[in-house]
A = this chain, B = another copy of it.
Amino acid sequence: MRPLHERRCAPWPADRPALIPTDTQALLAQIDGWALTDDGTAIERELRFDDFHRVMAFVNALAWIAHREDHHPDLVVGYGRCTVRFQTHSAGGLTDNDFICAAKVDRLTAD
Contacts and interface: CB of A to CB of B under 8 A. Distances in A.
Interface residues of A, number: 15
A31 interface: no
Contacts of A53: 63, 67
Interface of A: 52-53, 56, 59-60, 63, 66-67, 72, 74-79
24 contacts: A52-B63, A52-B66, A52-B67, A52-B72, A53-B63, A53-B67, A56-B59, A56-B60, A56-B63, A59-B59, A59-B77, A60-B60, A72-B78, A72-B79, A74-B76, A74-B77, A74-B78, A75-B75, A75-B76, A75-B77, A75-B78, A76-B76, A76-B77, A77-B77
